[in-house]
Amino acid sequence: MNKLYCRFYQQIMRMGMPLMPWRKPELLEGEGSLSKLPALIRSKGIQNVLVVTDKVIASLGLMDPLLLSMEKEGVRYKVYDKTIPNPTIDNIEEALLLYQANQCEGIIAFGGGSAMDCAKGIGARVARPNKTIPQLKGMIKVRKALPPLFAIPTTAGTGSETTIAAVITNSLTHEKYAVNDFSLIPQYAVLDPSVTIGLPPHITSTTGMDALTHAVEAYIGRSNTKETKQMAIDATKLIFENVYTAYSDGSNIEARKNMQMAAYYAGVAFTRAYVGYVHAVAHTLGGFYGVPHGLANAVILPYVLEQFGESAHKPLSELADVVGITDPSDTVEQKASKFIEAIKNLNKEMGIPDKVTGIRDQDIPTMVERADSEANPLYPVPRLMDKGELAGIYQLIMA
């Protein structure tokens, strides 16, 4: 790896960021805001939509009020509920056929990051019918407007309702990668905490730590702006104040609402300031073994922060101050160490393991290659790591 080239590439990307066509979704916020969506859809002249979700969401009946309201508004719909964790190209192509067969005019993503990634992939294929998902892999290759996309997050974690990324898995090669394009940012997002009330504790915890990973990796990176730093700070503070309450008392609507805003803030932060090696490693675990993304991030995060060493001490010490876990006499290094320890404690309190089971030694070389290819030269991490150091991270997280 040519470290000088990586830093030069990142500097050019950072200089170009203010010129990019950034936008944020139009928000419907607060308890009961989901009920306003059907009328909004109808007001846009959309008569037929594809609803993208998964079997669990569909079986819980969380969508029933929305579907009933759409029927009353005269908005027709078809439901695609076969999205799997770490959605695949096959998911997208199957749902695309349903979209086309029913002459849909818009897409509703109802669920966690997987449903939103799948919906974005469908939209990209509608916009680019002659391009396959592998051909759209990477940066800014869609370059055409998607059908109207309405994101309804039922977890507080991915922030996908505000990001330019759709993370897709190729089930044949076990490769997991991102399609990144400004057109993938949903036009509308519904942040209704009531749809997260039924979320199981283990999903609440791991998706919450996913949001924390977004905020922390964005904050410690080298491509921050004033806005992304503040968004990451706000997200980190909200998560430390609310994630355990949401985990232990799932009916606490205030904690649920705050976690939704934290995920949104973290999404704004990392989609502009990028992530880092935690995500690069986590994506390979999802691609090879189907490890849920939030769980992978939660486990990996403290290990990577420790490996950064002194290069990350200052920003981590600032986040430690933000969450109120420092003493006036603490050094920068001590504050950073306390912040990493606080992450470990949060994981432990919420039953998140400190290792990943099932990693095979023979898979590590390929995973290292893919993690390195994803991270370098794009991710503006505090300290660049080579393939040997990335291999060491896999060894550290192996059960």
Mean pLDDT of 117-137: 97
pLDDT in tens, 240-249: 999 999 999 9
DSSP secondary structure of 68-134: HHHHHHT-EEEEE----SS-BHHHHHHHHHHHHHTT--EEEEEESHHHHHHHHHHHHHHH-TTS-HH
Residue 262 shares a structural domain with residue 156 = no
The whole-angstrom separation of Cα 65 and Cα 140 is 36
Residue 89 shares a structural domain with residue 125 = yes
Q: Which residue has the tokens 């998607």?
A: 146
Q: What does the mean pLDDT of the chain come to?
A: 96
Of 196, 229, 253, the one marking the end of a domain is 196
Q: Is residue 392 part of a domain?
A: yes
Mean pLDDT of 269-297: 96
Residue 44 shares a structural domain with residue 176 = yes
pLDDT in tens, 321-372: 999 999 999 999 999 999 999 999 999 999 999 999 999 999 999 999 999 9
Q: Domain holding 243: CATH number?
A: 1.20.1090.10
Q: Which domain holds residue 126?
A: 19-196
Of 173, 196, 219, the one marking the end of a domain is 196
Confidence at 17, pLDDT banded by 50, 70, 90: confident
Confidence at 2, pLDDT banded by 50, 70, 90: confident
% of the chain residues with pLDDT over 90: 93
Predicted confidence at residue 239, as pLDDT, reads 98
Residue 1 has pLDDT above 80, yes or no: no
Confidence at 19, pLDDT banded by 50, 70, 90: confident
Could you tell me the pTM of the whole model? Answer: 0.94
The whole-angstrom separation of Cα 133 and Cα 90 is 10
Residue 81 shares a structural domain with residue 179 = yes
Of 149, 177, 196, the one marking the end of a domain is 196
Residue 232 shares a structural domain with residue 185 = no
Predicted confidence at residue 325, as pLDDT, reads 97
The whole-angstrom separation of Cα 206 and Cα 203 is 5
Q: Is residue 6 part of a domain?
A: no
Q: Is residue 2 part of a domain?
A: no
Residue 177 shares a structural domain with residue 208 = no
Residue 88 shares a structural domain with residue 128 = yes
pLDDT in tens, 209-259: 999 999 999 999 999 999 999 999 999 999 999 999 999 999 999 999 999
Q: Domain holding 50: CATH number?
A: 3.40.50.1970
Q: Are 260 and 51 in contact (CB under 8 A)?
A: no
Residue 153 shares a structural domain with residue 45 = yes
Predicted confidence at residue 254, as pLDDT, reads 97
Confidence at 60, pLDDT banded by 50, 70, 90: confident
Give the number of domains in the chain.
2
Mean pLDDT of 302-319: 98
Confidence at 199, pLDDT banded by 50, 70, 90: confident
Strand-pair category, 76-80 with 188-191: unpaired
Q: Is residue 264 part of a domain?
A: yes
